Structure 1
Amino acid sequence: MTDLEERAIHLQSLLEQTPHREQLVLQPRIDRVIAALRSQGLAVPPRLRRLNESLRADAFDEMFDNMPV
């Protein structure tokens, strides 16, 4: 297992133990790790990919929740 794969697994377990608000702060790190995995031709853990997609959607929704109408 590469260092990058170990970081991905660590991030996944960190996300599962972190409150949702703090998970949103970690989302950019997850994007970078996933991009690095893909660029090296390594598999992205499906659970990490799903968590990241969910966090990205939540961050996008939150961005619009704070916009004045």
Structure 2
Amino acid sequence: MAVPKRKVTGSRRGMRRSHDALKAVNYQEDSHTGEYKLRHHIDLKTGMYRGKQVIEPKGDY
């Protein structure tokens, strides 16, 4: 059976877990509608992306 030869220190354990923290979601205010949206995503209400109409709007939500 595999058993660790030495105890893993809190510092080493913390360094291994440093990438496990949740990141804050990066919302940005839309310049046309004023609503918050995710960056680099199409606004489904208006169908706009980077100032251009890329899809037809879905309608009311």
Higher RCO (C-alpha 8 Å, min separation 6): 1
* Same fold at TM > 0.5: no
TM-score of the superposition, structure 1-length normalised?
0.23
TM-score of the superposition, structure 2-length normalised?
0.25
More helix by share: 1
